[in-house]
Structure 1
Amino acid sequence: MVILTLNCGSSSAKYQVYDWANKDILAVGVVERIGLEYSTIEHKANGKEEYHAEFSSPTHKEAIELIIRMLLDEEYGVIKDLKEIGAVGHRVLHGGEVFKQSALVTDEVIEQLKKVIPLGPLHMPANIMGIEAARKAMPDVPQAIVLDTAWHQTMPDEAFMYAVPYEWYTKYNVRRYGFHGTSHLYCAKRAAVVLGKENKDTNVIICHIGNGASVCAVKNGVCVDTSMGLTPLEGLVMGSRSGDIDPAIIPYMMENTGMSAREMDTALNKKSGLIGLCGKSDRRDVLKASQEGDHRAKLAIDMECRRLKKYIGGYATLLDGKLDAIVFTAGVGEMARHVRLGACKGLEAIGAKLDEHKNDVCFSRNGEFEISTDDSVVKILVIPTDEELVMTEDAYALMNGTYDVHTNFHYTFEEKTYVNKGRERDLKKNLVKNPELASILAIPR
């Protein structure tokens, strides 16, 4: 039996096929440019040639149909019959106050998700279209929603409430929800394994840094605060999002420029952050420009790292002086050595000392690494995230009737013996190219 996971964005659909019995990834892929003049698909299956093509995909319906055809394809596919798919897991941005944990999809669930669209207008319609398209293509297969916001439901009132009129919360659900929940969940539980502790005894700060970025404070194994808020706009300096700003800037700029509310929303979400500061969002491009003397690119890096450092330091105070580790994850957190270096400067004040050589060596997404000095009281770890595995396990458990909220549920990756076979294959290749990586593996192989 295999589990299919789908992550539908506004113009894309990422997917993964997981062999449950052998605990291995069979295929991954992405359809992009959905709804544009032409769409593209990139499909990678174990032991087979990669497949790239252009096609017409006006909606997510055509994208899902093509994904299914690819999975069944004689040359590039990984299954022979749709009956081999035991469940489908869908990533959903926002559960609002309605969904506090993963759930099986029903007509009622979809109607409830539609009511949450105002809290995530850029992402939720695409999430829902993907679910509806998959249900139509595979009507007999159990399907599950896995919420970005579910992990953060353990935050106390003083963390998730805003100091605004209370009726904004009671009437309009204005509160901090947090995002990147599946990533924070995975990394929190893997950090406990790396540290050799029980999840309930683990205190970590997780920095999920990609184009979107958020920090999460984890106390005794659960989330107690996070940097994103009602939407994914709050918090860190991101690829195209502003993160924290003085709220008075919004009416000030609207009055001075005549911008509408929609135009302001677009400016803060798509034209700010690194793009707004230096015209680039890819950290490699920003770093290259900075090294070539671009002052604004250097400013962007400095601002991103400073904001990260402020959140890490602030969240350390929420953990009662018992911080075990700082975790970097996601594309930038796992690969951008200069961002980790900048974010960790000065963290000696909270007992975290970065080993600059280890940090420089750590340029791999295939293993879990420790990049702190040997005498660092607080460990600094790089843990590649695996949101798809969280989705896979939730979907399987819901289909099997064994699912429970994450505080009561045990994932396979919470075991020290757990191995991601795909990453292990790639790690072995990297170790041949760079033997020094073995010296910073958090769990020696």
Structure 2
Amino acid sequence: MILIINCGSSSLKYQLYTPDLAKVLASGIVAKIGEPEGYAEHFVGRRGERRHSETANHHDAFGVMMEALLSPEYGVLECPGAITAIGHRVVHGGAIFFGSVLVDDCVIQALHDCAHFAPLHNPANIVGIEEARRAFPGAPNVAVFDTAFHQTVPPKAHLYALPFELSTAHGIRRYGFHGTSCRYVSQTAAELLNRPIEALSMVVCHLGNGVTLDAIDGGKSVDTTIGFGTFSGVAMGTRAGDFDPAIIFHLVKELGMSLDQVEEICYRKSGLLGLSGLSNDMREICTAAEKGNTRCQLALEVFTYQIRKTIGAYAAAMGGIDALVFTAGIGENSAEIRARICADIGFLGIEIDPRLNAAARGGDPNISAAGARVATLVVPTDEERMIAIDTVALTRPGVAAMQEESPRLAAE
């Protein structure tokens, strides 16, 4: 069986597949790690349970997952030895990893070397891998990188206008994020439209607590919002998005803040949370805005304006747009946010049908208005399946032998 582990900044998601990936045997999440209101969900088929689970860290969350998978009551594993391979989402591969790789000690060290690029995510990703290596000592582990899909972004889009040597010597450039999701969703969108992906120019809006907009031309990422770290681009749940770097100098020099304090602000106290003063949860913000909370109304306006503006920029960068695709928690579930984003961009050919938009979850993925020149789709992401596909491909005997000789073969 193939186990897929996706350690986020405050969650651990997992899926257990049959070896041929034909069926998901079990799935679950340990959510709100480090928070008193933490919980765990575990599903086997349509049967599931949710319970309070206050976990201090990702080590504890891994233990909760193992307990669920091995439970005599609702587990699906007789013993850890039934796992034949484990795939992991890794957020940032820096300039080292250009594709998915089998994990060994050298890869683990390289992951630690990349950890500073994504301080909210990479440490959690590493914990998941190290725990899996201990729990399943006979099974290979595969790391699948969010940054890999964006390695096709050309220099004109990924370079910053800083001294060139900083980029070449220190890897300071735009790397991108949510690449595994964007790869899966763009392929699925092309299938839904029954058109070759090579003939499509699309913008994928991965809207969750983390947000990525990706310009995908001919199946390749050509520009993306998140850059060197993971807080740039548009405003996110707790992350600031783009702002003038002079603000950092001001906070340090004029307000006496330390760089650690500034980093805390940029990653954990900004975005929707900072604007609304209420929450980073879009559902809570929408509810409060509807009741007249002016800061929540402002947070919605900033969020949707920045996304709408970026869609226009990416359409210009690609010389046109054939499809706009919404995915991830907010993108898939919030008809209000989709409607706000699509308002006033009819000049691009983007028009949605309000009825189809309201019924998109579980309904027709194509929410375009009749006669719209651009297809607007709602496509549920499935990062775990994309990771599983790479895991199976890399653990085939012949591939595994090559990787043992050169564990970074896919990255070179």
What TM-score, normalized to structure 1?
0.85
The corresponding residue for 1:417 is none
Q: Does 1:239 align with 2:210?
A: no
- Distance in 2, matches of 1:197 and 1:258, equals 56
The 1:136–1:39 alpha-carbon spacing in structure 2 relative to 1, beyond 3 Å, is farther
Aligned residues: 399
Structure 1 stretch 173-182 or stretch 345-354: which is displaced more?
A: 345-354
- Distance in 2, matches of 1:372 and 1:161, equals 35
Q: Are the aligned partners of 1:51 and 1:76 in contact in 2 as well (CA < 8 Å)? A: no
Q: Are the aligned partners of 2:37 and 2:52 in contact in 1 as well (CA < 8 Å)? A: no
* AA matched with 2:303: E
Q: Does 1:378 align with 2:378?
A: no
Q: Are the aligned partners of 1:103 and 1:146 in contact in 2 as well (CA < 8 Å)? A: yes
Q: Are the aligned partners of 1:86 and 1:396 in contact in 2 as well (CA < 8 Å)? A: no
The 1:293–1:61 alpha-carbon spacing in structure 2 relative to 1, beyond 3 Å, is closer
Give the secondary-structure state (helix, strand or coil) at the position aligned to 2:99.
coil
Q: Offset of 1:9 from its aligned partner?
A: 3.4
- Distance in 1, matches of 2:395 and 2:248, equals 46
- Please identify runs of 4+ aligned residues in structure 1 that moved more than 6 A: 35-39
The corresponding residue for 1:211 is 209
- Distance in 1, matches of 2:66 and 2:8, equals 18
Q: Deviations over 1:374-404 (max 9, x none)?
A: 1001111100100010011111111115879
Q: Are the aligned partners of 2:199 and 2:218 in contact in 1 as well (CA < 8 Å)? A: yes
- Distance in 2, matches of 1:82 and 1:368, equals 40
The 1:221–1:38 alpha-carbon spacing in structure 2 relative to 1, beyond 3 Å, is closer
Q: Does 1:330 align with 2:328?
A: yes
- Distance in 1, matches of 2:157 and 2:60, equals 42
Q: Deviations over 1:314-369 (max 9, x none)?
A: 00012222x2100000010011111111111121111111222221232x2x4661
Give the secondary-structure state (helix, strand or coil) at the position aligned to 1:369.
coil
Q: Deviations over 1:190-211 (max 9, x none)?
A: 1110111112222110000011
The corresponding residue for 2:392 is 396
Q: Offset of 1:40 from its aligned partner?
A: 4.9
Give the secondary-structure state (helix, strand or coil) at the position aligned to 2:84.
strand
The 1:119–1:368 alpha-carbon spacing in structure 2 relative to 1, beyond 3 Å, is farther
The corresponding residue for 1:315 is 314
Q: Offset of 1:131 from its aligned partner?
A: 0.7
Percent sequence identity is: 40
* AA matched with 1:130: G
The 1:375–1:393 alpha-carbon spacing in structure 2 relative to 1, beyond 3 Å, is same
Q: Are the aligned partners of 1:5 and 1:88 in contact in 2 as well (CA < 8 Å)? A: yes
Q: Are the aligned partners of 1:10 and 1:122 in contact in 2 as well (CA < 8 Å)? A: yes
* AA matched with 2:157: A
- Distance in 2, matches of 1:303 and 1:333, equals 16
The 1:305–1:60 alpha-carbon spacing in structure 2 relative to 1, beyond 3 Å, is closer
Q: Offset of 1:69 from its aligned partner?
A: 3.5
Q: Are the aligned partners of 2:158 and 2:174 in contact in 1 as well (CA < 8 Å)? A: yes
Q: Offset of 1:10 from its aligned partner?
A: 4.6
The 1:403–1:192 alpha-carbon spacing in structure 2 relative to 1, beyond 3 Å, is farther
- Distance in 1, matches of 2:152 and 2:352, equals 30
- Distance in 1, matches of 2:67 and 2:207, equals 34
Q: Are the aligned partners of 1:240 and 1:276 in contact in 2 as well (CA < 8 Å)? A: yes
In the TM superposition, what are the counterparts of 1:27-38 in structure 2 within 5 Å?
27-32=26-31
Give the secondary-structure state (helix, strand or coil) at the position aligned to 1:64.
helix
Q: Are the aligned partners of 1:367 and 1:383 in contact in 2 as well (CA < 8 Å)? A: no
The 1:327–1:153 alpha-carbon spacing in structure 2 relative to 1, beyond 3 Å, is same
Structure 1 stretch 33-42 or stretch 190-199: which is displaced more?
A: 33-42
The corresponding residue for 1:287 is 286
Q: Are the aligned partners of 2:3 and 2:83 in contact in 1 as well (CA < 8 Å)? A: yes
The corresponding residue for 1:133 is 131
The corresponding residue for 2:171 is 173
The corresponding residue for 2:408 is none
- Distance in 2, matches of 1:155 and 1:353, equals 28
Using CA pairs under 8 Å that are at least 6 residues apart, name the structure with larger relative contact order, 1 or 2: 2
Q: Are the aligned partners of 1:200 and 1:220 in contact in 2 as well (CA < 8 Å)? A: yes
- Distance in 1, matches of 2:156 and 2:175, equals 13
* AA matched with 1:284: R
The 1:190–1:50 alpha-carbon spacing in structure 2 relative to 1, beyond 3 Å, is same
In the TM superposition, what are the counterparts of 1:402-417 in structure 2 within 5 Å?
none
Match of 1:344 among 342, 345, 348: 342
Give the secondary-structure state (helix, strand or coil) at the position aligned to 2:221.
strand
- Distance in 1, matches of 2:42 and 2:283, equals 25
- Distance in 2, matches of 1:33 and 1:356, equals 33
The corresponding residue for 1:83 is 81
Q: Deviations over 1:284-327 (max 9, x none)?
A: 21112111112211111111111011100000012222x21000
- Distance in 1, matches of 2:295 and 2:105, equals 50
* AA matched with 2:304: C
Q: Are the aligned partners of 2:356 and 2:364 in contact in 1 as well (CA < 8 Å)? A: no
Q: Are the aligned partners of 1:178 and 1:228 in contact in 2 as well (CA < 8 Å)? A: yes
The corresponding residue for 2:305 is 306
* AA matched with 2:143: I
Structure 1 stretch 8-17 or stretch 210-219: which is displaced more?
A: 8-17
The 1:142–1:337 alpha-carbon spacing in structure 2 relative to 1, beyond 3 Å, is same
What TM-score, normalized to structure 2?
0.91
Structure 1 stretch 337-346 or stretch 352-361: which is displaced more?
A: 352-361
Match of 1:194 among 171, 175, 192: 192
Q: Are the aligned partners of 1:368 and 1:383 in contact in 2 as well (CA < 8 Å)? A: no
Give the secondary-structure state (helix, strand or coil) at the position aligned to 2:275.
helix
The corresponding residue for 1:4 is 3
The 1:32–1:338 alpha-carbon spacing in structure 2 relative to 1, beyond 3 Å, is closer
In the TM superposition, what are the counterparts of 1:37-76 in structure 2 within 5 Å?
40-50=39-49, 52=51, 54=53, 60-76=58-74
- Distance in 2, matches of 1:308 and 1:193, equals 25
- Distance in 2, matches of 1:313 and 1:37, equals 41
Q: Offset of 1:123 from its aligned partner?
A: 1.8
Q: Offset of 1:281 from its aligned partner?
A: 1.8
